[in-house]
Structure formats: C-alpha cells, structure tokens
Amino acid sequence: MSLLRRQIPNALSLLRLVLTPWLWLLIMHQQFKEAMGLMLLALISDGLDGYLARRWHVESVQGAWLDALADKLMLWSLLILLSVRQFIPWWYSGVLLGRDGMLIMAGWSSRWFCGRRLPMRPNRVGKTAIAAQMLSVLLVLGCVAEGQTLSPSLSGLMVLVVVLSLASLLSYGLSWLRVLKGVEPW
C-alpha cells in the first residue's frame, strides 16, 4: 500500500481543520451561501475520510483522534458563532456542547477512578447524532442564506437532534458501564 494512500484519510481530516476558520470568516462576513458550500465540502470530507480508511484498511488511533478533533472543533466553533450571531438558540448549543463536555470529562476522569481511560469507541448512535448535528448547522446556514428565521420544521429538527444527542450520551454511558462490569473488553 502506498504511503500516499495511507495519508489521504488523515489529509481529509486536516482539511476540515483548515476549513473551520474559513467557515467562521465567511459567516462573519455574511457570505452564508459560500459558508454552506464550504460546510458541505467539510461534511463530504468527513464521510470520505472514514470510508477510505476502512476500505483501504489504514485505520489508526491517530486518524480516529484527528477525525474527532476536526469534527468537534468545527461543530463547537460553529455552534458558538451561530448562537452569538443569534441564528440558533443558546439552549441548542448548550445541550450539544454540554453533551460533548460530559463525554470528554467522563472519559478523562475515568483515568483517576479506574487507572485508565474508558474507551471512546464511536457507535452508531453517536455517529448518527454528530451527523444530525452537522446537518442541522448546514440547514441553519441555508435558512440564514435565504434571509429566513428558523422555521417550525427546523426548530422541530433541532429538538430531534437534541433527543438523539442525549440518547447517544446514554448509549456511551451504558457501554462504559458494561466495560466497568467486565461484560465488554476494556
């Protein structure tokens, strides 16, 4: 397998890290359609990096961390910016950021209580929640680009995204309980 092929998935994750400040600049300069296009490119790169890593059998711990970092940095920064700009409600950003904060704190604090960190293996509920969160941000940018406020259907979608995100928090918690009880491998 060529060295280049091994690096393509990580390069796609790095692309998302590079695109994040550009997304911010576009939103700050009210270029919402361009921001939507860049966000769509970022979402495609997110799906493609994982697909290629699995398909080419080049998954790595570093690649998984880089992918998660790129996702979180982009999502967190956009949630904060869109809330500050009053395009999305603070409760929405607060729940999504709080969910991620709880997962990170639980994972890191387990080192002190258990002697090592709990595994942060992505699961389907978590992956679906992140995809739904990203999609909701993309749809908010679409509304803003058209000069509209949040529609009732988009507000309803946000509620569903919150429910899904909280369900993923519960899913990770239950998985960690199984690990702590010795039912699943550490």
Q: Return the CATH number at 31.
A: 1.20.120.1760
Q: Quick one: three-class SS letters along the chain? A: CCHHHHHHHHHHHHHHHHHHHHHHHHHHCCCHHHHHHHHHHHHHHHHHHHHHHHHCCCCCHHHHHHHHHHHHHHHHHHHHHHHHCCCCCHHHHHHHHHHHHHHHHHHHHHHHHHCCCCCCCCCHHHHHHHHHHHHHHHHHHHHHHCCCCCCHHHHHHHHHHHHHHHHHHHHHHHHHHHHHCCCCCC
34 found inside a domain: yes
Query: What is the CA angle 70-179-62, rounded to 5?
Result: 25
113 found inside a domain: yes
37 found inside a domain: yes
pTM for this entry: 0.90
67 found inside a domain: yes
Q: How many other β-carbons are positioned within 10 Å of the β-carbon of residue 4?
A: 8
Q: How many other β-carbons are positioned within 10 Å of the β-carbon of residue 9?
A: 25
Per-residue pLDDT at 164: 97
User: What is the tally of structural domains in the chain?
Assistant: 1
Structural domain of residue 114, as residue ranges? 3-180
Per-residue pLDDT at 100: 93
pLDDT along the chain (186 residues), means of 10: 84 95 97 96 93 92 90 96 96 96 85 76 90 95 92 93 96 88 80
56 found inside a domain: yes
What tokens does 98 get?
């709080």
Per-residue pLDDT at 91: 97
Contact 42, 23 (CB under 8 A): yes
65 found inside a domain: yes
Per-residue pLDDT at 72: 94
Contact 176, 118 (CB under 8 A): yes
Per-residue pLDDT at 1: 57
186 found inside a domain: no
Per-residue pLDDT at 3: 80
Through-space distance between the first and last CA atoms of the chain, rounded to whole angstroms:
30
36 found inside a domain: yes
